[in-house]
Amino acid sequence: MSKSIFDLEEFKPYKKSWEARTSALKKRAGYYDGTVYSGVKEILGFLMPRLYRGIKPLYLPLARAVDVDAGIIPGGWEFPEDDPKTELWAKARDTLFDWSNWDTDGVLYVHYGAQYGVSGLKVSDYRDKKIVLVQPIDPMLFMLIGMKAYDSTPDMSIMIEKRDDADGKEFEYAEVITPQEVRTFKNDSPMGFDEREPRYKNELGFVPLVEVRHIETGKPLGEATFQKSIPLLDEVNELGSYLADVIKKNVEPQWFGKGIEPSDLVASGESVWFASNPDSDIRPLVPGIDIDGVLAFVKEIAQNVKESLPELAFDDLRRKDQIATATLELQLMELILKVKRTRPNYDKGLKIALQMAGRAAKSMNLAEISVLDDEELRLDDNRNILPVDEKGQIELELARLELEQMRLAVGIDEGADAKD
């Protein structure tokens, strides 16, 4: 049995909370990647190849919705244009993002939130290298403790992940941070990593992690972007379980014989019987399974799932012959409202992380980043959701023209066919 810091008396009180958190998040991840159907795939046996072609499209829209959220919610993380400090803040932000590989890793900040319903950022101070990093952190790997109703500053954070040692053996790496100190563990034993002691002073003086919820509902884990689709998807799992029960109960069915005596039967193999009377009949008593009806039901669920995700409204736009900005905003109004609800959560989390990075930089004498340690720091609340700048307008117009050309080409072809 693998050991954990939750085996230690100090951390046992947090074990149930950690397990409940990771269990809920793992379930949400299962809807995102389709593994929630893995159990159905195993128990349906010979029916699964036919049903899987209907089930697979169910979870693909969820991943697409997460991708759309990750693409449009950030809005460039811009500061207000009319603020006199914007230029200084933007320069510090760009340097910090460059150190943090934000151009590639930063997308995970919203991606994790859209997928799990909750996301996080961690500020790391590398004093020997004179840099500060702000990086997204998988919510499956951390938990904040001691957060209060009117104060989002935690008293402690616990981070746990699986690592491999030099021999390739997996172990639990744990990191516990309080405002006073940082402690690291290997399984249930204190262990130093990266040339640091197992226990050392927290030079920052605060817990450098921030947690945000994708859709704020008042619940600890918020809502994933596809939360409203989950009840629909659960119906498919329930159907799969029902079919599995039917199959299981009829593995060894009862048999019905007509015009035949037991002495007339001859067994061949394990499941085939022959009767000497040509007018006799023998058949298993098993219920019929309406595969086509099941597939039609799954298809209906898939359509309902798609309709529950405003991010997929772009599919309808592809069938439009006009993509004017005003029309675009009207057609995507539900998505716009959703972004307006979720974006402030991410803005607040990033603002706090940037301020933390500024405080860390100040303690490290990094003047170019310390300007972020500013109570007035804020992101632009009114930055655009849809592309309405000149470049975006040109791209939309090119897309419209391309669609028009495609339709004209199809029309010409259809006309030629009609003449022939």
- Minimum mean pLDDT among 5-9, 132-136, 166-170, 402-406: which range? 402-406
CA distances from 115 to 221, 296, 340 (A): 11, 28, 18
Chain-centre distance of CA 302, in angstroms? 19
Looking at residue 257, its pLDDT comes to 57
75 DSSP assignment: G
The pLDDT of 382-386, averaged and rounded, is 84
Domain ranges in the chain?
5-33+73-226+326-386, 390-420
Judged against a pLDDT cut of 50, whether residue 412 lies above it is answered with no
Give pLDDT tens digits for 321-374. Answer: 545 555 556 667 888 899 999 999 999 999 999 999 999 999 999 999 999 999
Give pLDDT tens digits for 61-113. Answer: 888 889 889 988 999 999 999 999 999 999 999 999 999 999 999 999 999 99
Give the helix ranges, DSSP H, for 374-389.
Answer: none
* Model confidence band, residue 406 (pLDDT cutoffs 50, 70, 90): low
Q: Which of 158, 191, 195, 228 is nearest to 15 (CA)?
A: 158
Looking at residue 235, its pLDDT comes to 75
Looking at residue 195, its pLDDT comes to 85
Give pLDDT tens digits for 41-56. Answer: 555 555 555 565 666 6
Q: Which of 420, 346, 330, 334 is nearest to 383 (CA)?
A: 346
Looking at residue 386, its pLDDT comes to 73
Looking at residue 62, its pLDDT comes to 87
* Model confidence band, residue 285 (pLDDT cutoffs 50, 70, 90): very low
The pLDDT of 261-268, averaged and rounded, is 57
* Model confidence band, residue 234 (pLDDT cutoffs 50, 70, 90): confident
* Model confidence band, residue 33 (pLDDT cutoffs 50, 70, 90): confident
- Sign of torsion, CA 330 331 333 339? negative
Please check whether residue 184 is in contact with residue 191, taking contact to mean a CB–CB distance below 8 angstroms: yes
The CA-CA-CA angle for residues 391, 395, 396, to 5°, reads 115
Give pLDDT tens digits for 192-228. Answer: 998 889 999 999 999 999 999 999 998 889 999 999 8
* Average pLDDT of every residue of the chain: 80
The CA-CA-CA angle for residues 343, 347, 349, to 5°, reads 120
Distance CA 384, CA 81 (A): 13
Give pLDDT tens digits for 116-170. Answer: 999 999 999 998 899 999 999 999 999 999 876 666 679 999 999 999 988 889 9
Place of tokens 């990771």: 22
The pLDDT of 176-201, averaged and rounded, is 94
